[in-house]
Structures are given as structure tokens and as C-alpha cells.
Structure 1
Amino acid sequence: MKPLTRLFRLLLITLLTPVLFLLGCQSRLIYYPRGYDENYRQTLTSHRGVAIPYTTGQGAQVAHYIPPKKGGQNPKALWICFAGNGSLGLDWLNYVDQWDPSFAYLMVDYPGYGDCKGIPSPRKIRESSLAAFDALAKHLNQSPEQLRPRLGVVAHSIGCAAGLMAASELNISKIVLISPFTTMTDMGKLLLGWPLCHVNMHRFDNRRELAQVVEQGAKVVIFHGTADEVIPISMSRELAEAHPGRVTLYEKEGWDHNRILHGVSQEIGAAMSSMVKP
């Protein structure tokens, strides 16, 4: 083999190795699925929650409905909850007791999480979220059109991407985001640099989806901690600055990526309440 050919092959292998590695394992770098244990199920029961089973192309899926504590079966608002990539839908039960008791919640798990089958991706998460809403409408014996005016989204981290996709599809006008990113490619650039950031098969794009929901008339509130070690607050600043008057950013001094949920839970609830008509 000629020295020049050998050098070319060595360079090609050097360049392709990280690309092939990322193609093969990037799902494991983005998603951290896990199942439910008995403690979750006991907490669900204590909140009078029920499982909402449905089926997608990924197989059997399960979301969970938490009815309002007061107001009967007609909640003042119905919030669809989307968790971060290392959390489960029912982790939102840690916060709902601090929020308006007339609210109800649909807690969505991504494919592969909780009691859901499959493997997550943007397309599959979008499909599952919409199917969960349709399944809930059937459970409540109401049409999707009857429920839509009361819908809101509350979401954290990667859940902000899932929530914005659902809000865009369902024309939801009440949206609370905690620690969102701009795009998954931007996150890749932070972690991997250029050009490996473009070896990305999970192209969540919150810039695009946020612009869509704002165009549809949504009001959006963002909370982001100044000490966020995962998603820089500059990303939320960019999202808010792109839509003055429609997107409000609250910068929370000293809070990091996960503890912000506990630290400002009451403020999150207040923001949710401010979006709901008396």
C-alpha cells in the first residue's frame, strides 16, 4: 500500500470513528428512561390519579390523569405535563399540591419511559403526546374540541421541546417552560463542538416551535436558573428576546437545572394561575 493511500485511510478512520460512535449511541446520551416502582403507584393513588392507556406505532403507552381536588370533573384548566430526560411524568406529583386545586393534569411519559413501550425520538414523542390527549378526551367523555380551550402546557428541560410540539399541534395558548434549550444541535455544539454537533438525529427545535405557538397567540412564561449547569440561561434569553411582549423570562438567581423545580414551584404555580381566566 502506498504511503499516501495509507495516510488517507488513517485520516478517514480517524474522522469517521466519532461520527459512527455518535450515530450508534446518541439516544443513550440524550434519554435516560426508567420505569415506575410501587412508591410512584401509591402516590398516584393518593392523588386519585388514573392510568390512561393508549397505543401508538411504538406499542402500548400509558399516561396518567390527575383530577382536580375541587370543582368536580370540570377543571378550570387542564395542564399537560412534560418532564426532563431523566424524570418520569409522575414526578410532577411532587409539585401539584402547591398549585391551584381546581387544576387537572395529564402527565405524559415518553416512549420507553414509565409504563410505555418503544424508543424515544422527536417524531415518536410528538405522536405519543397527541395520542395521550385523544385518549384522555375519550376517558372524560368529552371531545378534543371541548377540552382544548382549557389546555395548558408545563414542561421542564427536554420536556419543553415535547411541550412546544404538543402546544403547536393542539393550538395551546398557556405555556410555562422551565429551563428550555434553543435547539438540540445547539446543545450538541456545547458538548461536542463543531462539526460533530450536526451528527444529530434528534432535531428538537424550540426556536421554530416557539415561533409557531406565539404566532398562534400563545402566552409563554419561562423560568431559568442563573446557575444552570446543563442548559445555559443564555438560551432562554435568546428565546425570550425573539418574542418581546409574548414571552416573559424570569431569571432565578442561584438555581441550577434540576433544583429550580423545587425552589420556584410556587412561582411556577402562580404563573399558571395568572394565565387562567377566573
Structure 2
Amino acid sequence: MKPIKYRKMTGMGGAVALAWLTFTTIVAIGQRQLIFKPMRAKEVERPRSAGHRTRPVVLRSTDGTRLSGWLLTPRTPGPHPAVVYFGGRSEEVSWVARDAWRMFPNMTVLAINYRGYGDSEGIPGERQMVEDAHMLFDWLAKHRHITAGQIAVVGRSLGSGVAVQIAVSRPVAAVVLITPYDSLLALAKRRFPSVPGFVLQHRFDSVKHAPLLSAPTFIIRAATDDVVPASHTDLLVATLTTPPQDETILGSDHGNIPYLEATQQRIADFLTVKFGEVAARLTTSTL
């Protein structure tokens, strides 16, 4: 017969293992709710841009899911450079239409809510979001008011993982990443260190794709960020083959950073310069 002490230790070990297995199962099953926080209510009820014609649009994904958002075209005659915007975990993107006059001056803007966000149908997931992002980029590239070869992608927080994947598979002119991370898996492991990585389906592994990123890139950090620690942004930056423009916005945090005038002005300045450089190269190549 085994000693009582041994039996107690074995029983305790089994209880710990069972608790770990239960916790891991809960995380695996509920990870969609942990990662995504779809916002249905519009942040701005009647979004309008002072510098753009604002048009609600509904586009169909490759599997037929209806995606809703806004197409903003400058009031001045075109064609114009363009931007596709990808929002954060709990972000409904109507505010982009409101603030586009400052953030994206003289640029066409496509801001579409993820599946399950705003008026978009469906359920969010990494694979679906990236597939939809490819569709959005390709749709905008065919738009008659777009300057050929001049489409940038802008991604905030969760959306930075989408923007990076599009930037390495499509000919983007520039990339803006607001509070980006190395990978969602790394952030999840930081929060739940005992959970094995294989249970996470939506990894948004930006460090895997970043070495292939060749477009000019602007990294925008929050002065205070309790969601994406600076070390996780550092790890992403370290994998980029071309040093990015990298700035911290004073007085910002993870939640307020995209709404600040300083952030919007820096994005406008960066994209204006990069679009100008692309235009100059295209002009030179045709001479």
C-alpha cells in the first residue's frame, strides 16, 4: 500500500492538472469573446467628413457576407491616393468618416466595419478578417477615382495585425500601424502564461510577416499603454528589414490615441509625404 503522503500528493497533482485542463478548455472555447469585442452601435450617428463626399457602402465578401462602412472621396477633382483603414478590437469605424478631413486630407478613404461590428454581418475571426481585407483592397484598387499604385493601409491595435498581412501581399504605398504588437499569441501568453499556444486560433502573428514588409512604415505608440506593452511593439519593430518611422504621441493612451489631433496630424503628414514620393517616382519612370 502506498504511503498516505504519496497518495495525497498524487491527488493534489491530479486536481491541479484537472484545474489546468478546465481553464485551458475555457480559454480555447471562449477565445473569440476574449479576442474580439464587436461594437454594434455607431460611434458617430451621422458621420460626415468636412473635406470629403461621404457615402455609405455595403460590399460582399468572397463568401457573400455583407460588410458595411463608408467610402470617402475628396471634394476636389481626382484621381487621388487612397487609404484602407482597419480598426481595433472594440472599434466601430464611423468616427473615421468624421475625422477624415484632418487625418486623410485629399485622400480617398475606405473604412469598413469587421464582421459582426456596426452594420456588418457575420462573426469575426482572423482568417475571415484577412480575406475581407484583401477583398477591400482589391475593390478600392479598381475604383476609378484612385491614383494607380497609391493605396496605403492603416491599422490600429488589433487592426495592425490585419494591415501587416495585407501590406506583404498587396502593393501598398505606405503602412501606418497604431499601437501595434508582435503577435496576439504573445500578448495572450503574457496574460495567460499557463495556456499552451496551440489552443489559440486567432494569432495575428505580425512578427512572422513583418520581415517581408517593404513599404515605408510608420509606427505610432501611446505614451501609456496597458494593452500593448512597449516591449511587444519593440519586438515587431526589430523584425522589420527597413527601419520605420517610430514615434510616441505625448498624452496618449491605448484608448484615446487615434482621436487625438496630434496623432491625426502625424498620420496626415506621413502619408502626404509618402504619396508624394511615390508620385515623383512614377513621374520619373515615365520620362
Q: TM-score normalized by structure 1?
A: 0.85
Q: Work out the CA distance in 1 between the residues paired with 2:40 and 2:119.
A: 6
Q: 1:243 to 1:45 in 2, by over 3 A?
A: closer
CA deviation digits over 1:208-232, x for unaligned, max 9? 2221222xxx110111023112111
Q: 1:87 to 1:19 in 2, by over 3 A?
A: same
Unpaired stretches in structure 1, ≥5 consecutive residues: none
1:259 and 2:256 correspond: yes
Q: Work out the CA distance in 2 between the residues paired with 1:225 and 1:186.
A: 19
**Contact map agreement 1:53 1:135 (CA 8 A) in 2:** no
User: Which has more radius of gyration?
Assistant: 2
1:230 and 2:227 correspond: yes
Instruction: Tell me which residue corresponds to 2:218.
Output: 221
Q: 1:210 to 1:98 in 2, by over 3 A?
A: same
CA deviation digits over 1:27-77, x for unaligned, max 9? 11111112244943x2148742231321333622224211113233x11x1
**Contact map agreement 2:49 2:101 (CA 8 A) in 1:** no
1:150 and 2:150 correspond: yes
**Contact map agreement 1:108 1:129 (CA 8 A) in 2:** no
Q: Point out 4+ residue stretches in structure 1 off by more than 6 angstroms.
A: none
Unpaired stretches in structure 2, ≥5 consecutive residues: 280-287
What is the percent sequence identity of the aligned residues? 22
Instruction: Tell me which residue corresponds to 1:15.
Output: 20
Q: Work out the CA distance in 2 between the residues paired with 1:9 and 1:240.
A: 42
Instruction: Tell me which residue corresponds to 2:91.
Output: 87
Q: 1:37 to 1:183 in 2, by over 3 A?
A: closer
How big is the shift at 1:189? 2.1
Q: Work out the CA distance in 1 between the residues paired with 2:130 and 2:206.
A: 13
- Give secondary structure in 2 for the equivalent of 1:133: helix
CA deviation digits over 1:92-123, x for unaligned, max 9? 22431213532010112211112222211111
Q: 1:60 to 1:118 in 2, by over 3 A?
A: same
Q: TM-score normalized by structure 2?
A: 0.82
Instruction: Tell me which residue corresponds to 1:276.
Output: 275
Q: Work out the CA distance in 2 between the residues paired with 1:237 and 1:7.
A: 41
Out of 46, 53, 58, the residue aligned to residue 52 of structure 1 is 58
Q: Work out the CA distance in 2 between the residues paired with 1:266 and 1:203.
A: 31
Q: 1:105 to 1:175 in 2, by over 3 A?
A: same
**Contact map agreement 2:86 2:156 (CA 8 A) in 1:** yes
Paired letter, 1:30: I
Report the count of equivalent residues.
267
**Contact map agreement 1:52 1:65 (CA 8 A) in 2:** no
How big is the shift at 1:197? 5.1
Q: Work out the CA distance in 2 between the residues paired with 1:194 and 1:222.
A: 31
Q: How does 1:25-104 map to 2 (within 5 A)?
A: 25-37=30-42, 39-40=44-45, 42-44=46-48, 47-57=53-63, 59-72=65-78, 74-75=79-80, 77-104=81-108
Paired letter, 2:58: I
**Contact map agreement 1:167 1:213 (CA 8 A) in 2:** yes
Q: Work out the CA distance in 2 between the residues paired with 1:234 and 1:12.
A: 31
Q: How does 1:125-204 map to 2 (within 5 A)?
A: 125-137=129-141, 140-141=143-144, 149-196=149-196, 198-204=198-204
